[in-house]
Chains A and B, each alone.
Chain A
Amino acid sequence: MNKSAKIAELRHALARYGLPPDRPAVPLGEPRADAVLGGGLRRGALHEVFAQGWGGGGFALLLALRLTAAGGGPLFWVRSDYAALEYGAAAPEGIAALMPSLDAGPPVVVRVAGGADALAAAADILACPHVGCLLLEMEGNPRLLDLTASRRLALAAEESGVGLILLREGAHQDPSAAHTRWLARAAPSRADDDDWGNPRFAVELVRHRLGGLGNFLMEWDPQTGLFVDPLRLRLPVGRLAPSVVSATSPSDALMRMRGRWA
């Protein structure tokens, strides 16, 4: 190896010094979705969630919590005054109940006056590699959230490795630089479930830079902080003995759920 190549390598290593190491994929828990995503959701990339009705915002929040858990810093939630009025203000007690094991402290909510401020705040937050995740909430299809702006967001996230979820409320799909794009809406709980009420969503992965798409039904398990596939639970669990369930599906989440369903 010649000298200049070595210097270049050292320089590269120095430039990366202090930054978090290369980002592995963060598994969502639902096995089919994880398989499609190639192991899970990547930090340091732009993921868009288009909310379809009231459930979509919850799905984006849960994705952000997943990424926050993998990131180590606090969750930043940037939203406009209008969004807080229209879709409800962040309620810390409820958010904590969604993932009791999360140890990142209460989220930091940045309330901005409008879209331009939201993008400016996002740029600042994405520049700090120690942020757990940024949940950026945008309303409608503002002109300033164009392809350039979304590419800028994606690049900033890539550079620092911060998780980035862009929640689009009341918006139609438009071109963007997103790594993945999800359409999310709430799904009803299981009909015969007494202990109903875990967040459950019907989501559609309509765009994915690196692979396949798909439709998924996902249920959030607050205890593990992971999504599970409720259909897989529904079919056998009611009738089969618990031991069989654990044999066919050894997932950790399922093991834990077993007691409740048997």
Chain B
Amino acid sequence: MLQQRRIMALWLPRLPTDRLIRKSGAPEAPLVVSGRANNALIIHALEARAEKLGLYRGQPLANAHAMVQPLNVVPADEKADAALLENIADWCDRFTPLVSLDAPDGLYLDITGAAHLFGGDQAMLKDVLAKLSAQGFAVRGAIAGTSWAARALARHQTNALARGGSGFIVPPGGEAEAVASLPITAFDCDAKILRALSHAGLKTVGQVAARQSSELAERLGIQFVRRLLVMLGQAEEPLAPRRPLPDLMAEQRFADPVTSREAIASTLLALAQSLGGLLERQGQGARMLGAAFFRADGKVDRIAVRAGAPVRDPTIMLRLLNQKLDALADPLDPGFGFDLVRLEALLAETTSPATVSFDANENARRQVRFLIDRLSARFGEHRVLRFVPQDTHIPEAAAVAVPAQDSDFDATWPRHQRPDDPPRRPCRLLEKPEEIHHVMADTPDAPPVRFRWRQCLHHVARAEGPERIVLEWWSKDGPTRDYFRVETREGQRFWLYRDGLYRRNGLGPRWYLQGIFA
């Protein structure tokens, strides 16, 4: 049977002022945050003291100034608020991996199957609210079977008795009853629909729900009906998780935060073992591993490593993670300690059950692939490269470097030249062709006799060319390049090209050095 979902909705009604007060303490005068609406300054958010004085959200600022003197007004900083909400969501990751933003001032936590870890819905909600309040946030919450039911209750259930001081919990199936008495503003839809509802004499959600849905759909749109059904618990709306949900995960909570390196290392080992067991049971291996370290003070450190082939061996997973941890620019700082460590298989892939191979070649290849994984974890996947041939004549684009983890191991390189020819292409290419100067050539079309490059004068003893490489006709104003293979008197072999045709535009051609032969 499908498990009944449980969604916790959180509302932080005073997020902007809470942010300011947390940062620089409560000011003398009541604090309000001003925003702009219809070309006028209004109150965007306000702290509790200001609300007690009769101010309210959306009130014109001039109006507020007239009512309360002095008033501390700070312009809204929506970016900072959004960042703070993200941080709070990060912090909430410790309760469940599925946290979704309800911007600008709310969060959803999908706590299906997680509440029992915290002593049930009631205890969990109490715990979350208490911890957030302790950090200086005004917060309200509710738990229900669907997101909109929980959201409406968290935001609009003003009956203090019903909320019992610690949020509101709807028993499974009780959504319709719980939201019935909420005002129609709980739909949080645009003003036109609200006006239409109040003209029809509908004041509460319950009254709206009593109407025929076909009638509502005709007048207010199918979107509205959908929202109503979700609110009544008769339909589900999926939450958009903030980060990809891990396919599998293992976590360890600590009543007393851990700080010592050894304790963290042994925790990681234990987690790797249990994650390895989970993967084994599913016949899967992890292509991407993540580890999240939740600090007691709310900071969350995350690392992710990729593996070239699915891994499930705990020691290999641990080595990859440790490599990444060692390579961190600022090392993992436990601060006051971690109270939760989680290991995730962010991307799991099915592997064949027999992972032990007796084929020596296959084992060798696997070891090399593991080496590439370790190097990639340590230095970054964009620093461990292999080349993929491209179908183009332009020398610098003939190969692109891709992370070696992604490249096919058995790829071979197409060979354009006859095997007994000397190499026609240099083994090293300058990342950007460098212009050479003081080029002397016998005739306009001839290769240079001498040239100066990087302050050195080179005398050309022999040259072969031109090999004309024309840029693809579909790329705009592609210049023509005439390539020459030259050897200097000292025996150094370079690859030069003349850019453009001789004297077409009244200027001499420009010469570049692009490659160095062995």
Interface residues of A (CB under 8 A from B): 53-55, 57-59, 61-62, 72-74, 84-85, 87-98, 100-101, 103, 105-112, 117, 120-121, 124-125, 128-131, 185-189, 195-200, 202, 220, 222-223, 256, 260
Contact = CB atoms under 8 A, between A and B. Distances in A.
A151 B23 CA distance: 55
A9 B202 CA distance: 92
B383 A111 contact: yes
Interface string B388-423: 010000010011010010010111110111011111
A197 B372 contact: no
B368 A187 contact: no
A92 B379 contact: no
B493 A94 contact: no
B415 A223 contact: no
Contact of A189 (B415, B417, B421, B462): B462
In the A-B complex, the 8 residue pairs with the smallest Cβ-Cβ separation, listed nearest first, are A58-B518, A88-B428, A197-B422, A94-B427, A188-B491, A130-B364, A199-B518, A186-B491
B367 to A, nearest CB: 5
Interface stretch (B165-173, B287-295, B343-351, B482-490): B482-490
Contacts of A62: 518
A196 B417 CA distance: 15
A57 B409 CA distance: 26
A91 B365 CA distance: 24
Contacts of B485: 197
A197 B487 contact: yes
B239 interface: no
B425 interface: yes
Contacts of A124: 371, 374-375, 378
A106 B386 contact: yes
Contacts of A89: 428-431
Interface of B: 364-365, 367-368, 370-372, 374-375, 378-379, 383-387, 389, 395, 398-399, 401, 404, 407, 409-413, 415-417, 419-431, 461-462, 464, 485, 487-494, 515-518
Contacts of A120: 378
Contacts of A223: 419-420
Given A121-B379, A197-B493, A197-B517, 5 more contacts: A92-B387, A98-B427, A186-B490, A187-B491, A188-B487
Contact of B518 (A59, A84, A121, A128): A59
B270 to A, nearest CB: 26
14 contacts: A54-B494, A84-B431, A91-B395, A91-B428, A93-B413, A94-B423, A97-B427, A105-B386, A110-B379, A124-B378, A188-B488, A197-B485, A197-B517, A202-B491
Interface centre among B413, B415, B427, B428 (most CB of A within 10 A): B427
Contact of A108 (B386, B395, B424, B518): B386
Nearest to A103: B412
A236 to B, nearest CB: 20
A105 B427 contact: no
Contacts of A130: 364-365, 367-368
A96 B413 contact: yes
Contacts of A202: 491
Nearest to A221: B420
Contacts of A131: 368, 371
A200 B413 CA distance: 24
A105 B410 contact: yes
Contact of A112 (B371, B383, B427): B383
A72 B428 CA distance: 23
Contacts of A91: 395, 399, 425-429, 515
Contact of B515 (A94, A189, A197): A94
A128 B365 CA distance: 11
Contact of B426 (A72, A94, A129, A198): A94
